[in-house]
Amino acid sequence: MTDGFRERRWHAADDVPLYLRDYGNPMDSRVPVLCLSGLTRTSADFHGVARRLAGSGRRVLAPDYRGRGASGRVRDWRRYAPPGLIEDLLALLAAFNLHRVVVIGTSLGGLLAMGLAVARPTAVAAAVLGDIGPEVNPGGLDRIIDFIGRDRPEPDWTAAAAEMKRRFPTLGMTTEEDWLRLAYGTYCREPDGLLHFNWDVRLVRTLRGGAARMPDLWPLFGALARVPTLVVRGGVSDVLTAEGLARMVAVKPDLRTLVVPGVGHAPTLDEPACREAIDALLAAA
């Protein structure tokens, strides 16, 4: 057991080794929670959320996608595209004998929650979409692409935390410890002694062309029509706009929504209001 979780590994269909944090009691009778991080993020982002939810024994699983964190890299960058990630998630469900899960997904993780509901309609018992929806604001997407696509080494953790604070001032972090924790989830030390991004920067190629090449995501959102769903929007997010959220509610009137004031893309989902809203969704799932 490592700080409240077990480290697990499994292999994708193309034999890429994948990493998973497994919290809580595997024998708990409640529907497990599957936490899916953002585009370049890892399972570490959900540590606070997962430990809290697992405190009562509920099982919580948080994977590192291929090309990120402790999971393997691939030669063909096309295998980093969302269809390949959905295949990996289906392999995860099979490997850990999971038939139904509550998916908590931030950014890309929310899109993967929708995709999982398409690929395996009975698997998603409920969903939390963290600052994402079927309409992705082009400005926010371009900002993300600009940051993730080129390695930007930092000399030490203090400098890395300062860089994160400079680039993402609306993330809602309140202490220097929060920013340092974010840096730990963003960088890793390489043999040259410097801190490098903890992801394969080639994965940005799956997004080249930005919003102009984004597929129509509304059919994916439609897969959640009968699934209890909560959308958490950052009040100053440049990825999920207020207008986009309003259109989601128009399509799905029973959609639960929460706006975290003053926070950009994306809320941690561990904010007090988010805890309350997530707990209420889990109680209904």
What pLDDT, on the 0 to 100 scale, is given for residue 209? 56
**How far is 80 from 84, CA to CA, in rounded Å?**
6
The structure's pTM equals: 0.95
Residue whose token pair is 């929060």: 178
What pLDDT, on the 0 to 100 scale, is given for residue 47? 95
At residue 209, φ and ψ (nearest 5 deg) are 105, -15
What pLDDT, on the 0 to 100 scale, is given for residue 32? 98
- List, for the chain, all residue ranges whose pLDDT scores fall below the cut of 50: 211-212
Nearest to 245 by CA among 142, 132, 138, 140: 132
Contacts of 86 (CB under 8 A, 6+ apart): 112, 115, 116, 119
What pLDDT, on the 0 to 100 scale, is given for residue 174? 84
What pLDDT, on the 0 to 100 scale, is given for residue 215? 81
Domains of the chain, first to last: 5-149+216-284 (3.40.50.1820)
Residue-wise pLDDT for 71-124, tens only, equals 999 999 999 999 999 999 999 999 999 999 999 999 999 999 999 999 999 999
Residue-wise pLDDT for 198-227, tens only, equals 999 999 988 865 544 678 899 999 999 999
Nearest to 220 by CA among 33, 83, 32: 83
